[in-house]
Amino acid sequence: MNQENIILWRNILLRSFVVGVVATLLLLGATIAFWHAAVGWAGLLFHVEEKALARIVLQFFTNVRLIVVYLFLVPALALHWTQKSISR
């Protein structure tokens, strides 16, 4: 793999990481803003209590964090490190 391809993939992965972080923050803001409405709808539609819904939401954000970090950031940092070692 030549240096231009490494730089291209690194930039794609870093930008994907940034987009993932921004999307997660927007989802977090919407979750906080509409929590009471979400609890009401979840209780009405799925018969889920607030405690169980909180656990589901926490697990969702934990999974999103793992995916964004390990699928985008870690490979991007590895490619960045590889690109730096090639350019020397």
- DSSP for 12-79, written as a single string: HHHHHHHHHHHHHHHHHHHHHHTHHHHHHHHHHHH---HHHHHHHHHHHHHHHHHHIIIIIIHHHHHH
Q: What is the pLDDT of residue 1?
A: 75
**pTM for the model:** 0.84
Q: How confident is the model at residue 88 (pLDDT cuts 50, 70, 90)?
A: confident
Q: For residue range 3-54, what is the model confidence (pLDDT) as tens digits?
A: 899 999 999 999 999 999 999 999 999 999 999 999 999 999 999 999 999 9
